[in-house]
Chains A and B, each alone.
Chain A
Amino acid sequence: MENKDSLSNIENLIYNGKDIGDGIVSSIYERAEKIYKEVVTNDTNNNNIESKLDNILTSKLFGYPIMILLLGIIFFITIQGANIPSEILSNLFFKIEDKLTYLFLNIFNAPDWIHGFFILGIYRTLAWVVSVMLPPMAIFFPLFTLLEDLGYLPRIAFNLDNAFRKSGTQGKQALTMSMGFGCNAAGIISTRIIDSPRERLIAIITNNFVPCNGRFPILIAISMIFLGVLSDNFSSLISTISVIIIILLGIIVTLLVSKLLSSTILKGVPSSFALELPPYRKPQIGKILIRSLLDRTLFVLSRAILIAAPAGGITWLVANITIGDATLLSILAGFLDPFGSLLGMDGMILLGFILGLPANEIVLPLIIMGYMSEGAMIEYENLSSLRTLLVDNGWTIITALNVMIFSLLHFPCGTTLLTIKKETKKWRWVVFTFLLTTCIAVGVTFITNLIYNLIF
């Protein structure tokens, strides 16, 4: 009875008047509200702690400040608490290094290059990775897991929904972004919850702009050893604030890039979604400790060690193989140096980022390794001497700041890139993400450096 003609007839019936859809939807909602008010009595609503709490945590006025405050408290505790164990660990490791050196050179009579490769290369990098990264992680991850366990993360998504909507995407991206704080690869896999392919791509491309577990320690370590010492009395506070500013910068860049993408190559209207705020839960402290220490701290640390060990060895080799009268390392770093200084950094730092592609965890240890193997080998036994090392190599506030910014914005790690390929099925988006993030990192650090140089 029906045929194609009749179908095109229907097509002609589609009404193109505006606002009518809104009228229909609001009729439905109004009726639902009316019935609800008529049939439901809620005598404890006002005493309901949960909804009261939600009203505050997700309110327009307090939502953001509370969010920043909570993150701030976590970073403050981390930075305050990590200082001492970091010192103890690095002291310990470098005492062991002395013993090992003695063992290698005097007992085993090992050749210099074996001692150099294994002790000055591999062991020393590992010592840095563990002493710089383990204490902040061991404090930060349990605290962050506690926040997760309480059910606060969905409230963050709720708070950010509006901002993401204005950027042409949707609030679910706030959730996948939050996942990215754990691990960008995991964050990218979690974008499967976003139905619209367009919004999903945006979420994938921008996920890297929040620091992951691997990059938090770099941010925290630099803020501790460099920015914190700017003031004697408020060192932890300054470190905390600088880390928070970096994270906020990451979120702002996420929003701006989302907006840019959704108004250029990935155009479209934001789709609607409903976010359920799950009930708050009593955190299970034991589980949090086990999960955050085993699953996160040890996972990140072992990944860092696995990659840092060979990378440390290679860095030592590169630093000790000479071509003509310069080492390979100084040639490479020297080659990158002009570009690095344009961005307020130097060639060694850029080399660290490039060599750190497999895992962001090892960028800072690589940079330190590079500096140490270049100059005369001075004993560096604690964090304040680490600062001396950096200053000796020309670090200023802008260097520290731009390393943090570059770490935040630069190309994703190898695992994340492969995950993008897996999820989008196209190399094109991998290349695009790589180029976009790198360009933004270069652009932003260039500008901050320019501004710094104009002012000072």
Chain B
Amino acid sequence: MGLTNQSSGISLIRKKFNIEDNNKIVLALAGNPNTGKSTLFNHLTGLNQHTGNWPGKTVDNAQGFFTHNDKEYLIVDLPGIYSLLAKSKDEELARDFICFGSPEVTIVITDATCLERNLNLAIQVLEITNKVIICLNLMDEAERKGIKIDIKKLEKNLGVPVIPIIAREGIGVNKLLNAINDMVEEKIKLNPLRLKYDEFIEKTIKNIEKKLDNILDENFNKRWIALRLIDSDKSILKSINTILSNE
């Protein structure tokens, strides 16, 4: 990873997100509001965190550090969001970081008691990046409410690891850390879910992707950018523009 980082200019992009330290493995923590994202963040990093502002924004940007298995990690707590369609400032920020900040692993924390809504975000994150771990939080509350989740089936559907946890009590966090470790070491076989859209959309995506090939290098997920362009999402252009103009 170190090599690709230096060669690609990702470090420059990350600098835009106030990440100066390139020796640590960068993780992103995403999730709906009120899913226990900050609880997990605090549990992982303890007092080892600092908050600042996102570049040019007033939204808090919390970063924390921790060590596991002799690896040093830097974890970014993204704002709580429901989607990556960039309808709000928070969504735009989270999207930009997951897409352009190239975190080694993106952890999507979900609320086991209302999984359906949380899956929407998970699926959207999977469209951007392969390296995703889904965290099922609030398993105790789900159990209390009589909700049973077939973890194996969910893993098969999403094609990435799914780790049940109870963030409040720290249960399952070790499993999560091991999964992060394995993903960083590329020990996990990934088969992430990619939505197939209808024929017309797919054809349009292909066309735009081809054109994007001439403009953007391999660090950008062109299928996803094409998808956003089809959705006439102008904010993605602005983001690409700011990131390119600093190179």
Contacts and interface: CB of A to CB of B under 8 A. Distances in A.
Contacts of A14: 229, 232, 234, 237
Given A9-B215, A11-B237, A42-B146, A35 B232 contact: no
A29 interface: yes
B229 A15 contact: yes
B201 A1 contact: no
A42 B51 CA distance: 39
Given A10-B212, A195-B89, A32 B147 contact: no
Nearest to A50: B145
B241 A7 contact: yes
A45 interface: yes
Chain B: interface size category? 35 or more
A271 B82 CA distance: 13
Contacts of B200: 20
B185 interface: no
Interface in B222-240: 226-227, 229-232, 234, 237, 240
A15 B119 contact: no
A38 B153 contact: yes
Interface in A13-42: 13-17, 20-21, 23-25, 27-29, 31-33, 35-36, 38-42
Contact of A10 (B33, B119, B158, B215): B215
Contact of B232 (A16, A36, A48, A195): A16
Contacts of B204: 15, 20
B4 interface: no
Contacts of B34: 276
A297 to B, nearest CB: 32
Contacts of B85: 25
B197 A27 contact: yes
A417 B146 CA distance: 50
Contacts of B230: 15, 17, 20-21, 24
B212 A28 contact: no
A232 interface: no
Contacts of B216: 2
A29 B197 CA distance: 12
B172 to A, nearest CB: 17
Nearest to B216: A2
A24 B154 contact: no
Contacts of B120: 28-29, 32
Contacts of A44: 145-146
A274 interface: yes
B244 interface: yes
B53 interface: no
Nearest to B241: A7
Contacts of B193: 31
B148 A41 contact: yes
B91 to A, nearest CB: 10
B198 A271 contact: no
5 contacts: A11-B237, A13-B229, A20-B201, A23-B201, A41-B150
